[in-house]
Structure formats: C-alpha cells, structure tokens
C-alpha cells in the first residue's frame, strides 16, 4: 500500500514543475522539427502588423535589412523606423545585412585576383542604374547595413547576408566571405510567394502550398511589404501559416539557432 503514495510524491513535483514552465518552453519541448522564418525589408507598411503577429505567436525571426524606400518616403533603416527595429531587438529577434541600397548582383567582372561586379540597386541615389563595384566596395555595402542595424538596435547583427533576389555568384560569395559574411538563401518550399502577383497567386493558394510543402529544417522567406502585390501577403497569411506549422509540431527558431550557424560562420573583420 505504500507504493502509490511513494509514486505520487515522486511524480507530483515533476508534473508541477512542467506545468510551471512558460508556454513557449513547453512548446519547445514538444518540437518535432524546426523552421527558420526570415523577413527581408520592403516598403514597411505591414511591418507593425507583422510585429504584432510575431509577438502574439511568440515567434522570433531573422530580419535581413536594407535601407529600402518606404511608403513614408524615407528609408527602412532611417530614423523613422529606428524605434521599430529597437523594439524587435528587445523581443529577441536577430538581424543581418541585405546590402545597404538593396543592391542586386548582375554579373562578375574583373579577375579572381581583382574581382568586381556589375550591380543594380533598387534603392538610394543610383536606384535602377547599372554600375561597377569592386569587391571592397561591395563589402562596404554589406557593412553599412550591418553597422546601421547595430546602431539602431544596440545588438550586433549576425555575420550573414542575403543578396537581393538571392542573386549571387561564386566570386561574389568569396568576396563576401573575405570580409566576414556568409550568404543565406532560402529553401525551395520556404519561398512563401509574397512577391508574386496576387491576381494569379492568391493568399489562400500560397498559404495552402506552404502548409503542404514546408518541412523540418526549411528556411522561410517573406518581406515587410512588396510594392507590386495588390493583395498584401502579410499579415493575412502569416498568422495562419504560423499556427498551421505549429499544429504539425514545427517550432520557429532564428538563424542563430540553425545547425549550420553559428558554428560555421566566418569571423567578421574588424571595422
């Protein structure tokens, strides 16, 4: 007759201890897999709504930031948006460079010894123009965004970058690595489609596709506002997507927690 009493005294404190854990900690203990939500800058009109969803769902993301043109007419890394970035840092999100002027790689030039690149930024004084950057000047594009992120958030960004459009070359990646940055793209199923025309790719269709195809380990890509999409993807799809993936046992983590990072991250050069 002593056995049930003995078991109760052993098990009861364990049950109490588990129930006392925060909901987010209990959810992590139940993870069947992980996904990594990344958000690139855009026109920023939906940024406050995206932040609301992430906070309500207890999801931390990794933001790749460039100083893109916003609906207010300023830059997404300008003073107007600085309080927004600081608030995201306080919530535990991570940050990384997306180049300063959202600068697209177009072609390799120069040589392996003296690499250079034809580029076309979509923001800044030379938006829409093709011109040439040396490897050193491309590194300054990466540094400028990272430095501004550190200034406005008080948090050192991850030594990662995402090239606009995901457009790179081996020569560009080598140049970025030489100045301390590893490139991060996205998984095929992680392309969430918020850049696609809404008349052909409805929010409902994009949500269903993501819920069907996203798997453990995927890096997901969305934006803080896309100019060309008439029916905004965020936040309409974001919350049901998060809830749906959570219901499958997938937990959301930042790229700092990705198995390939930070153990394989290059050390950033001193600036």
Q: How many domains does the chain have?
A: 1
Q: Pick 182 or 1 by higher pLDDT.
A: 182
**How far is the first Cα of the chain from the last one, in angstroms, to the nearest whole number?**
71
pLDDT tops 90 at residue 212: yes
Residue pair 39/93 in contact (Cβ under 8 Å)? The answer is: no
51 assigned to some structural domain: yes
Q: Based on the number of CB atoms within 10 Å of its own CB, is 247 exposed (0-12), middle (13-18) or buried (19 or more)?
A: exposed
Cα dihedral 187, 188, 189, 194 sign: positive
Round to whole Å and give the CA distance between 24 and 59.
Answer: 9
pTM, rounded to two decimals: 0.87
Residue 91 in domain: yes
* pLDDT the model gives residue 224: 98
Above 90 in pLDDT, residue 35? yes
Is the residue at 204 inside a domain? yes
Per-residue confidence (pLDDT) for residue 110, from 0 to 100 = 86
19 part of a folded domain: no
Question: What pLDDT score does 44 carry?
Answer: 97
Question: Could you tell me if residue 124 is inside a domain?
Answer: no
pLDDT by residue (tens digit) across 80-104? 999 999 999 999 999 999 999 999 9
Is the pLDDT confidence value at 211 over 90?
Answer: yes
Query: What are 188-198's pLDDT values in tens digits?
Result: 999 999 999 99
Radius of gyration of the chain (CA): 21
CATH number at residue 144: 3.20.20.370
> What does the pLDDT read at residue 30?
81
What local confidence, expressed as pLDDT, does residue 165 receive?
97
Q: With respect to residue 127, please indicate whether it lies within any of the assigned structural domains.
A: no
Q: What is the mean pLDDT of the chain?
A: 89
Quote the tokens at residue 270: 């001193």
Q: Is 225 in contact with 232 (CB distance < 8 Å)? A: yes
Say if 250 falls within a structural domain.
Answer: yes
Per-residue confidence band for 213, with pLDDT thresholds at 50, 70 and 90? very high
Q: Tokens standing for 236? A: 């309409």
For tokens 């300063």, the residue is: 100
pLDDT (tens digit per residue) in 220-271: 999 999 999 999 999 999 999 999 999 999 999 999 999 988 655 555 544 4
Structure-token match 């005294």, residue found: 9
Domain span including residue 59: 31-101+137-257
């Amino acid at each position: 007759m002593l056995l049930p009493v003995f078991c109760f005294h052993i098990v009861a404190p364990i049950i109490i201890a588990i129930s006392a854990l925060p909901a987010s900690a209990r959810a992590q203990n139940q993870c069947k897999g992980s996904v990594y939500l990344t958000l690139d800058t855009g026109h920023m009109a939906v940024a406050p709504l995206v932040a609301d969803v992430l906070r309500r769902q207890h999801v931390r993301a990794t933001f790749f930031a460039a100083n893109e043109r916003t609906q207010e007419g300023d830059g997404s890394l300008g003073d107007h948006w600085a309080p927004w970035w600081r608030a995201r840092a306080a919530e535990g999100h991570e940050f990384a460079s997306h180049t300063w002027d959202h600068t697209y790689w177009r072609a390799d030039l120069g040589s392996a010894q003296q690499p250079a690149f034809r580029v076309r930024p979509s923001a800044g004084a030379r938006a829409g123009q093709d011109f040439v950057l040396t490897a050193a000047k491309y590194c300054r594009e990466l540094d400028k965004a990272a430095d501004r992120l550190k200034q406005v958030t008080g948090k050192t960004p991850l030594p990662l970058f995402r090239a606009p459009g995901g457009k790179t070359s081996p020569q560009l990646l080598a140049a970025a690595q030489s100045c301390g940055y590893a490139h991060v793209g996205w998984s095929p199923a992680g392309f969430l489609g918020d850049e696609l025309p809404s008349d052909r790719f409805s929010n409902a269709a994009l949500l269903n596709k993501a819920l069907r195809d996203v798997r453990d380990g995927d890096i997901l890509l969305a934006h803080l506002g896309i100019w060309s999409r008439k029916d905004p993807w965020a936040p309409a799809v974001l919350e049901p997507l998060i809830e749906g993936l959570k219901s499958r046992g997938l937990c959301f983590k930042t790229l700092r927690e990705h198995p390939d990072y930070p153990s394989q991250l290059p050390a950033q050069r001193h600036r």
